[in-house]
Structure 1
Amino acid sequence: MLGLMGREGMRASDADRQQVADQLKAALDEGRLDLNEYDDRIQKAYGARTYGDLDGLLDDLPGTVPLRKSRIEPAHKAPVAPTGAPERKHGVRPMLGIFVICTIIWGITSLTSGDAHYFWPMWVLIPVAFAVLARLGDRDKHRH
């Protein structure tokens, strides 16, 4: 049925109408359209039901691709992770690196002041502990 109808008769989506509206707004901002012409075209864009209704709204504007010349492609499925592979990785090493850097900063400030300051880098270990616990939990899931 769609092959017999032709592209002009196919229904336009909200995304298609919004794309045309965005391009019209850009043309208004660049001074290519005056406010009256923009208002007229934007009303036609939001009122469009088919691609044929949207055709012609962008034809005289440089740098725009009219919808009739755009490619319609089917949506692609997201790649599926191989079975047995963890869905997420826990970055324990980077967090430990941040802890080491914070400890070095704490050590330098304590040495230069001549006084041992409060050991604030210990708070950086909290996300490390959560990451380690999450990794151990994932390991238990994969064993069963």
Structure 2
Amino acid sequence: MAVGPEMRASDGDRDRVAAALREHYAQGRLTTEEFDERLEQLYTSKTYGELARLTSDLPDVDLRSLPEPASRQPARSGKAKSGKGSGDLKEAWQAWAVVGAINWAIWFFIGLVSSLDFTYPWPLWVMGPWGMVLLVITMFSGSGRRRDP
């Protein structure tokens, strides 16, 4: 079936035109006001003809070379998720180490000020439970899994 200007457009069609408008705006062909106005018209457009009028005064853009809109991107594979998760885990361990170092420094300073009374190592109550939770999460997060070639 041939696509005519009176044929109804889909959400995907509107997303592709929005991507083209964003590209033209990024390249300076549209002002902010023109871009906003065209986007308003875009999301009220119902037919291919209405969509075509929004870009008729702009050069063609290869829409295949543009990134897919975030709302339409497929879910990422497990590998990508575990990569981000391992970064979060690394940040959690770094936070644990920094907080632990600060607590030990405070404990040491208090011990010095109170005439070398280092009797109770209270920073263990901060580092211990937090460290145990992080250790369990690290062990079960799968960050040590074999990587596929």
With normalisation by structure 2, the TM-score equals 0.45
TM-score by length of 1: 0.46
